[in-house]
Chain A
Amino acid sequence: MILDILVILAMLTGLLFFVATTVGIIRFPDFYSRVHAAGKGDTLSTTLFLGGAILFLLRDFGTDTLLTAGKLLLIVFYIFIASPTATHAIIDAGYEFRVPYWTRSKKDNSTKGDEESMDNGFYPEDLKG
């Protein structure tokens, strides 16, 4: 009974984080902020969902369910390492790609001196979209 409540709690928290991730990916104005939303919320919500599945499997205890729960724990461990690595690779590619970053206005964009090595107007047209 208390295990069921824990399963429901974990999955609802995971769904909350996934809703936040989706809202961030759709609504944020910039590529870099979108990566920020996706990298954190996606990893944590996946971990919480799979943790809820593990708790549900351990409800009827046995060697079979223990083996399956071990495999699921392996997947959780793998995703917890691989998803931030993939996000880092994506944002590295975007930085080398010189994706333009968000500023408040065009005027601010032209008066900035520090980031001019990044915002030099280079934008590969054939790869855009």
Chain B
Amino acid sequence: MNLEPFFIAMAVAILFLMLCNLYRVVAGPTVIDRMLGMNVIGTKTTVLIVLIGVIDGRVDLFIDITLAYALLNFITTIAAARFYQRLAQPAPRDPRESLVAPSAGPEVEEVDTPAAVADSVRKETP
């Protein structure tokens, strides 16, 4: 059975659905929505490259490109997610706080009133 028309139809269908996903990237209300749409499109691109290799009859040539693309897509998504996660968090007032991971534990309690600040200063000085 000749499966080449079936693979071409699958590739065209995936391409069409990727274009539908591009709507979320263009019109997403937040940056995170755009990141999500690009993650889905990048994952499907690996499938598309493998299908092109199968149609072409040279999968062993295209498989390395697919592996590199999958790795790159994962690293890009993780980097962008970490960037926006750090951006949403307030900058540490105390330099010692930056030694702790930003999303590790509960937030430090607010000491903003002058009496509390003076109290904390008094506690630290021997």
Contacts and interface: CB of A to CB of B under 8 A. Distances in A.
B60 A53 contact: no
Interface string B57-75: 0011001101100110110
A124 interface: yes
Interface residues of B, number: 50
Interface of A is mostly: helix
Contacts of B23: 26
Interface in B57-95: 59-60, 63-64, 66-67, 70-71, 73-74, 77-78, 80-82, 84-85, 87-89
Nearest to A83: B43
Would you list the 5 A-B pairs with minimal beta carbon distance, nearest first? Answer: A89-B81, A93-B81, A86-B77, A93-B85, A94-B32
Interface of A: 1, 4, 7-8, 11, 15, 18-19, 21-22, 25-26, 31, 34-35, 38, 42-43, 46, 49-50, 53, 56-57, 64, 67-68, 71-72, 74-75, 78-79, 82-83, 85-87, 89-90, 92-94, 96-99, 124, 127-129
Interface of B: 1, 3, 6, 10, 13-14, 17, 20-21, 23-24, 28-33, 35-37, 39-40, 43-44, 46-47, 50-51, 54, 59-60, 63-64, 66-67, 70-71, 73-74, 77-78, 80-82, 84-85, 87-89, 103
Given A22-B21, A90-B35, 19 more contacts: A4-B1, A4-B3, A11-B6, A15-B13, A25-B36, A25-B40, A26-B21, A31-B29, A34-B36, A50-B46, A68-B60, A68-B63, A71-B67, A82-B74, A86-B81, A87-B36, A99-B30, A127-B31, A129-B28
